[in-house]
Amino acid sequence: MDRVNWKMIAELHRTQNVTKAAERLSLTQPALSKRLKIIEDDLGVTLMTRSTRGVRFTPEGEYVAAEAHKILAHYAEIRENLRRLKAEMSGTIRLGMTNSFVRYTLPKHLHAFKALHDAVDFDVATHVSSQIATRVETGEIDVGFICGDLEGDFDRIFIGKEHACLVNATPIALGELPQAPQISYISDPFARRLLDSWWHGHFARPPLVGLRANHGDTCLEMIASGLGYGLFLSPKFVDPSRRLFTMPLHHADGSAVCRNLWMIARAGSAATQPIAGFIDYMERHLDVQTPQRNRRARAPSLELSPPMNGSDPRPGVGGWDVTRVALQSRREAGLGRRRGRTPSCRRLAGRGYPSRFDTTI
């Protein structure tokens, strides 16, 4: 028997009246009586007898009615459990991100998300952005956080910008860099290309690379020891308490050396839980602000000689004193969730962004 028949028996048992049961089931009395006769024929028993005072269930009918109540209750339980499973956040989300993101941005958000959904676990891996994008496409990573406008078969959400900077133990003028030793640690070719473009826009000769480090932290320690200066694509690597000299990088035309930050997921996978819930949470809680399109920090000239006391208010002089790089809200910019293919990059170009970036760390 189907659920409607079980419900009919349960309603007749509850009301003990054919007229009331028919009304509650939105059936006519003849239709109800006809269906009841079919059920009795199918079971081979008489379920109830009628009288002027209503219906009276036979012993067999009492048994069937009790089972009907159980079946309907179990069906309701199944529906409720399915509803909870659909809404509940549970399972493991595989995340991929750069070192700077996992160190300075992710922890507080994971802690807050776990407080809301303790049944969700995370598997976190760190890579350069190009590797993260590849692993998202192959399904090895559920959600990735990348730097730069990489192309690929994935959905993306804009989550901000980062402004590259120079770091040194003491103040240094831009014109002094060709003669100063550089400590290099960036191995990703796309990120290297961005910094090479900045360098060749200012200088005719290549940088004097004195040391190479395998990690940003190692590079910072060498810088603090006075072994040379370093270039960082993420200012978050530089702890203000270390009192190192920092200078935001600008191209020769005065534009900031920046890269876009994206949250990406394999096309279609963001519709399933708990991935969808995590993406929605991060999109709502990441510190993304509206950009100040008409404000641009003036690039320091080659002749700039910063004072030693760090009090000069000009951009890049005496420390990190420019206004914090404003970030752009995906909703306010109207970019929406986009596929990471070339047409998307063209749409970005129409909004004042370059048509392609090659930054990936």
CATH code 1.10.3720.10 for 3-87: no
pLDDT of residue 229: 95
* CATH fold match for the domains 3-87 and 165-256+292-325: no
CATH superfamily of 165-256+292-325: Periplasmic binding protein-like II (3.40.190.10)
pLDDT reading at 307 higher than 70: no
Q: Confidence band (pLDDT; 50, 70, 90) for 132? A: very high
Q: What is the mean pLDDT of residues 124-135?
A: 90
pLDDT of residue 105: 86
Q: Using alpha carbons only, what angle is made at residue 114 by residues 111 and 118, rounded to the nearest 5 degrees?
A: 150
DSSP H stretches of helix in 225-357? 275-285, 330-333, 342-349
Model confidence pLDDT, tens digit, residues 220-276: 999 999 999 999 988 887 877 888 999 999 999 999 999 899 999 987 777 778 888
Cβ contact 183:213 at 8 Å: yes
Q: Confidence band (pLDDT; 50, 70, 90) for 65? A: very high
Query: What residues pair up with 163 in beta bridges, in sequence order?
Result: 258
Cα–Cα distance for residue pair 100/165, rounded to 1 Å: 14
Cα–Cα distance for residue pair 333/158, rounded to 1 Å: 9
DSSP H stretches of helix in the chain? 3-15, 18-24, 29-43, 59-87, 99-104, 106-116, 129-137, 189-202, 216-224, 275-285, 330-333, 342-349
Which of the residue ranges 144-153, 234-243, 256-265, 309-318 would you say has the lowest mean pLDDT?
309-318
Domain range list for the chain: 3-87, 94-143+268-283, 165-256+292-325
Q: Which residue has the higher pLDDT, 144 or 1?
A: 144
pLDDT of residue 187: 64
Report which residue type is found at 99. N
Model confidence pLDDT, tens digit, residues 281-304: 998 888 764 433 222 223 333 333
Q: What is the mean pLDDT of residues 25-38?
A: 89
If you ran DSSP here, which 8-state letter would residue 334 be given? T
pLDDT of residue 152: 86
Which of the residue ranges 74-83, 212-221, 224-233 would you say has the lowest mean pLDDT?
74-83
Tokens read off for 98: 């750069």
Which of the residue ranges 143-147, 258-262, 309-313, 321-325 would you say has the lowest mean pLDDT?
321-325
pLDDT of residue 84: 64
The structure's pTM equals 0.55
